[in-house]
Amino acid sequence: MVLVLWIIQTTLRVISLWYANSSLFNNKSSQLKMNALNLIFSFLIIGAILVSSPSAGSPIVDQQASCSQNGNTYKQLPGTGCRKFTQGTVLHPPQVHSCPYGTMFDVKTCVCNWPRNTVCHV
């Protein structure tokens, strides 16, 4: 999205420079309109960059934070420090389970494991 807005803004700048140097573009109101469009697209690009970049406080959720074993799909539950996970199948909706005290759910092995052996994705 940012790239599309940048291309549109750059195209507008090229057109405005071409018109500014041509004799067809002597109207001041047309120049003001072109400058206003450039300004609007600048704000749109800045807004798109701010919206698309993750903030420092938001967790980055890894879509690979799941594993499958024996027809079950296990996923680390976001916001629990990997101490909770869901287990579901094709026929049954996911159910939330907790790991025993001091362990975390490990998607590499599909079981609760010691934290030093586990990478928490969510």
Indicate the pTM of the whole model: 0.47
pLDDT 10s digits, 57-116 = 333 344 557 888 888 999 999 999 999 999 999 888 999 999 999 999 998 889 999 999
Backbone phi, then psi, for 53, in 5-degree steps? -85, 135
- Name the pLDDT band for 54 (thresholds 50, 70, 90): very low
Task: Give per-residue pLDDT as tens, 1-41.
Answer: 566 666 777 777 777 666 666 655 556 666 666 666 666 76
Q: What is the DSSP letter of 72?
A: E
pLDDT at 28: 65
Task: With H, G, I as helix, E, B as strand and everything else as coil, classify residue 8.
Answer: helix
The two three-digit tokens of residue 95, written as one number: 């159910």
CB of 41 closer than 8 Å to CB of 8: yes
